[in-house]
A and B are shown apart, each in its own frame.
Chain A
């Protein structure tokens, strides 16, 4: 039942006032049957437009979209056999929960008995078995979202598309609903695209993540790959927090590089597919939780003064001004009795070669 989905060089150009805006720029993506892919990026990056083109609400200016190998680029939305979950749920306010969920089944012309059964099953699946007779305005935000989900799932769509479905819920419910959605998606084995700007959602729910920026694809990969091997500085910075420090390539080895940072040479991993030559500028990316602090030491790559320190319960956050005038961020897990540093103290930070990654410095940071 699960189908593949293919986007080939899909672009969307909008006319805004007099200017043409390239909202989506040559996006290509292959989604496996039953896979859940998240589109992640800042607002205005084109992720929602891409999703709406897959749904058929927008027509691509160029490129093709295929579902199960069949070109659907010009098929109207109501014939695409997709399910779309909207950010604002889009429940029909003049219909009961039952009628909302039955809507698509009625379009298909199912018998009343089948409709009754399927609606019952659908509501059961999202845990709202008893709400049939109520109206959307009598439901909480989370319940409305589940009805919206049930309304789509009873149709057994070939592809499930979700446009920031959790962004209108409060934080606790959001975390509950994301495991719930993932559970249902796996249970049904339906191919799913999911748009979000919340990296936590993307990391926890997806098989793969497509990071977008300014209409272009920055990187597609599993959550692990995206986090540990960011292909671009944008991805490094957008997913989690990252210290990005300019450096110079001293030596190129098999998969690793020797970088010089402020006079000290350290070994780091080279990003997959990056090409480096000796003497190039490079950007060193190291996440704050991967730095370990120690009292001033000769061999540590970073040494500086503590600018601010913030206690967050589970960890200490330090902002450290290093020699080049930059600031780096360090997360230090906290246990009672552990050594902490105060503002103004000099401290050194070190990292393991395997946790830091070097990217080619395309943006010319070092200058």
Chain B
């Protein structure tokens, strides 16, 4: 049996070969080169590069800062995410309010990385309107607090989505049982709801820790010189000092906690069964209130945070239509004119690259997901793992690895569109792979066996039966891929060139040249493009889902 799938399925071998070759080229080879660049000095194995970094006080501080920032962001973001998730799944709110809370949390998820940083700079930075309003003249917002606040707001929606899924999966019967045994709502929360959601909380902590650790855009704008972190240090080392080895060593330092978190998540939290739903689940209609004070606290927090997010987005919009923020507040369309003339190439380039990477990455996700879930061939687990690697690693690490690997012959790719497309495909197809695997899990293998027994070969079965059934999952994965191809910065910043200009890097340039109005206008255009594309793909997904919502043949 072990060798037979290859023998019986002639299409499988070339497919496997293609996948492995591309993973080797675009995932393993760059990481291998990064490893070599870190540990090979003049042809000798050496810790010299790492030692240089570790002996540098500033770099050591960056390492400590990165870990501290990631810890605080993950705790604060998970807390906020839990509060939101509790409000949406447990409080008797009208449905439009729940919808609003959910919609507002998706804003940071699909926005370009600088959005909240720009808005926070405009409100709390020098000349910030909130500072003036509160009369806090000389408050220094740059550094830890600004970065922490911005990252927490950017990443808590991830926690919200994770925890909302976990909380709504806890059968209401369990909580009703607690209440019927005489426990107060607070006690039920403490003894039933919270313990059952602990694996979800752990997962959320790890996800946010990894996100914050890898975040490049926020600290670049807000951390400043007083609060160095690893991703920005590695970037400055390479672009400022042209020290590729130092950058490699720094990114290697960043890699260690990132890999640790990845393994923890995959092999510890990932294994835990979230919630055991016992017996028939009743309705959640008559949910008991959690006590006046708790309810007020949860609602108040949600209201404040939601209002603050909306305020930040309106700042971006306002910033894009005034002449000079805080100085000359008269309305103008100049900034948009600037975007559509000087920034025209950035818009078309960004769209083109995203439009190329999305279908290619979608196809790759389908094939990898299918092989990993359906074909029990030696090495498929390793294949799935490796294909997730670029996604799990911080973008800075991937970017630096790509620069090192593809900057010279035999594989000279720097400055081409290929390297950007490859970086996006192999980094952001992970969501698609997960969705495809989950969706295949739902489809009974007998559907494919039926096709084979009716005489169809494996290619026909794949394209006529399997693919149509997983289209919604693929579209979801492609939506994710598109959003991130449009808004990515951390890996891309190392890979852009004169020939290819991107919206995110243009925003960064505007920020460093203090052209806030133009940065806002670019952001608004980018957000609208992403929104449009997201809406389109969500519509397509919904259509595809409706078409095959049939239960026939599903167990």
B553 at the interface (CB under 8 A from A): yes
Q: Quick check: A136 and B457 within 8 Å, CB to CB?
A: no
Measured between beta carbons, the chain A residues less than 8 angstroms from B136 are none
Q: B550 near A93 (CB under 8 angstroms)?
A: yes
Assembled-state Cα–Cα distance A302/B447 (Å): 55
List chain A residues, Cβ under 8 A from B553: 86, 88-93, 136, 144
Q: How distant is the Cα of A99 from the Cα of B454 in the complex, in angstroms?
A: 13
Contact A137 B457 (CB under 8 A): no
Contacts of B1 in A (CB 8 A): 58-59, 61
Nearest A residue to B457, CB-CB: A78
8 Å CB interface, B505-555 against A = 547-555
Contact check, A82 vs B453: say whether CB atoms are below 8 A apart: yes
Contact with A along B442-481 (1 / 0, CB 8 A): 0010110111111111001000110011000000000000
Q: Does B8 contact A (CB under 8 A)?
A: yes
A136 to B456, CA, bound (A): 20
**Are B454 and A103 within 8 A (Cβ)?**
yes
When C-beta atoms are compared, the residue in chain A nearest to B10 turns out to be A76
Task: Identify which of A61, A79, A91 contacts B552 (C-beta below 8 A).
Answer: A91
Query: In the bound complex, do residue B454 and residue A151 qualify as a contact, i.e. CB atoms below 8 Å apart?
Result: yes
Confirm or deny: B285 has a beta carbon within 8 angstroms of a beta carbon on chain A: no
- The answer on a CB contact under 8 Å between A107 and B453 is no
**Cβ-based interface call for A77 (8 A):** yes
**Given known A-B contacts A84-B449, A88-B555, A94 and B455 have beta carbons under 8 A apart:** no
Interface string of B1-15 (1 = CB under 8 A from A): 100100010000000
Interface flag for A104 (CB, 8 Å): yes
Q: Which residues of B contact A270 (CB under 8 A)?
A: none
> Complex Cα distance A94/B553, Å?
11
Bitwise interface map of B from 159 to 194 toward A, beta carbon under 8 Å scored 1, else 0: 000000000000000000000000000000000000
Contact A90 B447, CB 8 Å, known A83-B453, A107-B454: yes
Q: A132-144 vs B: 1/0 string, CB under 8 Å?
A: 0001111100001
Say yes or no: is A234 at the interface (Cβ < 8 Å to chain B).
no
Report Cα–Cα, A87/B452, bound state, in Å. 16
Please give the number of chain B residues whose Cβ is less than 8 angstroms from any Cβ of chain A in the complex: 29
A94-B548 in contact given A77-B449, A88-B553 (Cβ < 8 Å): yes
The CA of A161 and the CA of B450, in the complex, are separated in Å by: 12
* Complex interface: chain B residues within 8 A of A88 (CB): 444, 446, 553-555
CB-based contact B444/A78 at 8 Å:
no
A94-B550 in contact (CB<8A)? yes
Asked whether any CB of chain B lies closer than 8 Å to the CB of A192, the reply is no
- Residue pairs across A and B with CB atoms within 8 Å: the count is 106
B370 CB, min distance to chain A CBs, angstroms: 17
Decide: A108 and B447 in contact? CB cutoff 8 A: no
What residues on A are CB-neighbors of B444 within 8 Å? Answer: 88, 90
Residue of A nearest to B549 (CB): A137
| Chain B residues near A81 (CB-CB < 8 A) | 455
- A55 to B460, Cβ gap below 8 A? no
CB of B450 within 8 A of CB of A86, answer: yes
Interface centre among A79, A84, A94 (most CB of B within 10 A): A94
The verdict on A77 contacting B551 (CB below 8 Å), with A59-B4, A90-B447, A92-B465 known, is: no
Contact of A93 with B454 at beta-carbon distance under 8 Å, contacts A77-B449, A86-B449, A88-B444 already known? no
Given A59-B4, A86-B446, A88-B444 in contact, is the A93-B554 Cβ separation under 8 Å?
Answer: yes
Tell me, in angstroms, the Cα distance from A107 to B451 when the chains sit together.
10
State A76–B554 Cα separation when bound (angstroms). Answer: 24
Known: A84-B449, A94-B547. A89 touches B456 (CB 8 A): no
- Flag if B4 contacts A136 (CB, 8 Å): no
Query: Is there an interface contact between B468 and A84, defined as CB atoms closer than 8 Å?
Result: no
Closest to B449 in A: A57
B446 near A90 with CB under 8 A, answer yes
| Residue A40 is within 8 A (CB to CB) of chain B in the complex | no
The answer to whether A107 and B456 have CB atoms under 8 Å apart is yes
- Contact yes or no, B468 A94, CB < 8 A: yes
User: Considering the chains assembled together, what is the distance between the CA atoms of A300 and B114 in angstroms?
Assistant: 96
CB contacts under 8 Å to B, within A342-361, are none
Asked if A166 is at the interface of the complex by the 8 Å CB criterion, the answer is no
Contacting residues, chain A, for B4 (C-beta < 8 A): 59
B451 near A103 with CB under 8 A, answer yes
A76 with B8, Cβ < 8 A, contacts A135-B552, A137-B552 known: yes
Q: Hey, which chain B residues are within 8 Å of A155, CB to CB?
A: 454-455
A239 at the interface (CB under 8 A from B): no
Q: Which chain A residues lie closer than 8 Å to B550 at the CB level?
A: 93-94, 135-138
| Sample of 6 more A-B contacts, CB < 8 Å, known A78-B456, A136-B552, A144-B553 | A82-B453, A88-B446, A90-B450, A94-B550, A103-B454, A137-B550
List the 10 closest A-B pairs by CB distance, nearest first. A136-B552, A137-B550, A104-B454, A93-B550, A90-B450, A84-B453, A90-B446, A91-B552, A94-B548, A107-B455
A-B contact pairs, 8 of them (CB 8 A): A55-B453, A81-B455, A90-B553, A91-B553, A92-B447, A92-B451, A93-B550, A107-B454
